[in-house]
Structure 1
C-alpha cells in the first residue's frame, strides 16, 4: 500500500510572517494590501486539479475578515484547523494569553466555516518542552485534539532538536503532537517538511529526502507551505534584514510548479485523516 503523507497550508498574509515582525507593526496590518484570499484560492485550485485534500491551519484574524474564504476551504473538502488568532509566538505570550488566543481562534473559525476545529499549529513552531510545557494540556482543555507545532531541528527562530520525530503525547491528558518531518543524517535532524527549505534546495534533493524519511521511519511525513509563497508579485519589504528578505523571497516564482510536482510524486491527505490513529490514541505515544 502506498504511504500517504499529510499536506498542510498555514494561512496567513504576506505581512504577518515572523521575518517581518520587527519592521511591520501589528497595528498597521489592516492598512496593508491583503493578498491572502487570492493566494489561498490559487492554492485551492491547485489542490482541486490534483484531487488532493489538505489541512488549512488558518489564522482567526484572516477568518474574521474573510469568512467566505473559510467557507470555500470547507466546501472543497479540506480540514479547517487553527493557526491561532493573531500570529503571536506561543513562547512569548504566556499560558493565559495562549489560552485566550486559541479559544478565540477556534470560535471564529468554527463560526465562519460551520465545521469543528480540532487541529492547531503554533506560529513559527513556537511550542517546545522547555519554553511552553503547558501548551499541549491547554490545547486539550480548549477542545483541540492534536498539535503540529514542534520542529525537531536546530534553527535560529525555532526548533526542538531533542523532541521525538514521530507522533507523541507530551503529557497524558494533553493533545498528541504530530511533529514536522525530518531526515537524520550525520547525527543531525535535517528539515524535510516544506516552507523555506523547500524553496531553497533543488527539488530532486527534497524529493529524495522525503522518500528517505518515509522509508526509514515507515511513517507519513508532514508538508507545509503558505499562500504567500505562490505569490512572486507580492509587495517587497525593503527595510527588513537581508537574511529575512532572502528567506522570504527566494524561490517564490517556482513555488507553485514545485508544489504541483510534489502532488504528483507523492500521495497526500488531510492531517486528521492521515494521522487518525495517533490522534485517537489516548496513551503516551513517545
Structure 2
C-alpha cells in the first residue's frame, strides 16, 4: 500500500502575500479585485479529478467574503483549517493581538463551514525561536494542531533545528512542520511552495519519494491558489527578488500539480497525521 501524503493549500489572494504587503495595505484590500474564487474552483476540480483530498488553511478575511467557497471545500470532503484572519505574521504581533486574530478566524470558519476547525498555520511560517509563546496562544484558542514551523534556513522564516516530523509540545498542541529532507548535514525544503515552481519538478518528486520510501514517513506539501494563476496582475514597483519569487513559472504550476497528483497519494492533514499523533 502506498504512503498517503498530506496536501495543503494556503487560501489567500495574490495581494495578501507578505512580500507584497507594502503595495497593498490591509485597509485597501476591499478595493482590490479578488481572483481567489476562480483559483480555488480550479484546485477543487483538480483534486476531484484525481480523487485526492486536502486541507485548506483559509484566511478568515477570505471566508467572510466568499463563504460559499468554504462551504464547498467542506462539502467536497476536504478539511477546513485556519490561516488566521488578516494574514499578519505571528512574529510581528503581540501575544494578545495574535490570540485575538486566531480566535476570530476559528470562529468565522467554524460558523461558515459548520465543522470543527482543528488546525492552524501561521502566515509565512512565522513561529520560531523568537516567539515560542505563539504555540501557547494556538493551544489556548482551541486548535488541536499547528503547521507553522518550517525546519529550514530562509531569509524570511525558518527554524532549522526543529524536529522534521510531527511532534507534541508540552501544552498538548501537535506541531506538524513542513517536510524537509536531511542531506549533507542540512535540511532541504521538500514541501512545495516557491521551491516547487522555481526548481524542476523532478526535484520535488525525488525529495518526496525519499521521505516516503527511505524514511517510510508521510510528507506534507503546500501551495497557494495564486500560484496556479499566470494571468494575475503584475504589481509595479516590486523588487527583482520579489518578482522572481512570485511570478516565475506560474504558467507551469498546474501541470506540475497534475504530475504530483499522479505520482503520489494525497489526503487531509487531520487524517494523515492527527489520527496517528
TM-score (structure 1 length as normaliser): 0.95
CA contact (8 A) 1:9 1:227 kept: yes
Is 2:246 the counterpart of 1:248? yes
State yes or no: 1:67 paired with 2:38.
Answer: no
Residue 102 of structure 1 deviates from its aligned partner by: 0.6
| 1:152 matched residue in structure 2 | 151
Q: How does 1:212-223 map to 2 (within 5 A)?
A: 212-223=210-221
1:116-154 CA-partner distances (Å, limit 9, x unpaired)? 1010000000011x2221122221111100011100000
How much does 1:201 deviate? 0.8
Shift of residue 186 of structure 1?
1.3
2:267 corresponds in structure 1 to 269
Residue 234 (structure 1) aligns with: 232
**Local SS of the residue matching 2:22:** coil
1:138 corresponds to: 137
Q: Is 1:126 equivalent to 2:88 in the alignment?
A: no
Q: Which residue of 1 aligns with 2:206?
A: 208
Equivalent residue number for residue 77 of structure 2: 77
1:217 shift after superposition: 2.3
Distance 1:53 1:104 in 2: 26
Is residue 96 from structure 1 mapped to residue 108 from structure 2 by the alignment? no
Quote the Cα distance in structure 1 between the aligned partners of 2:97 and 2:276.
28
- Three-state SS of the structure 2 residue aligned to 1:238 is coil
Deviations 1:19-66 (A, max 9, x none): 101222111111111001111111000001111110000000000111
Secondary structure, counterpart of 1:154 in structure 2:
coil
Whether the 8 Å CA contact 1:60–1:84 is kept in 2: the answer is yes
Q: Is the 8 A contact 1:176 1:278 kept in 2?
A: no
Paired residues, number: 277
Whether the 8 Å CA contact 1:148–1:178 is kept in 2: the answer is yes
TM-score by length of 2: 0.98
Per the alignment, residue 173 of structure 2 pairs with: 175
**Greater displacement, 132-141 / 11-20:** 132-141
Separation in 1 of the partners of 2:102 and 2:40? 22
Distance across 2 between alignment mates of 1:273 and 1:135: 24
Shift of 1:174: 3.6
1:5 paired residue number: 5
Given that 1:127 and 1:135 are in contact with CA atoms closer than 8 Å, whether structure 2 keeps it comes out as yes
Q: Tell me by how many angstroms 1:216 deviates.
A: 3.1
Structure 1 stretches of 5 or more lacking a match? 280-286
Residue 185 in 1 paired to residue 183 in 2?
Answer: yes
Question: 2-side partners of 1:152 and 1:3: how far apart?
Answer: 22
Q: Deviations over 1:73-111 (max 9, x none)?
A: 001100000000000000111211111001000010011
Tell whether the 8 Å contact from 1:55 to 1:81 is kept in structure 2 after alignment. yes
CA RMSD in angstroms comes to 1.0
User: Contact 1:4–1:266 at 8 Å: present in 2 too?
Assistant: yes
Query: Who is 2:197 aligned against?
Result: 199
Query: Corresponding residue for 1:224?
Result: 222
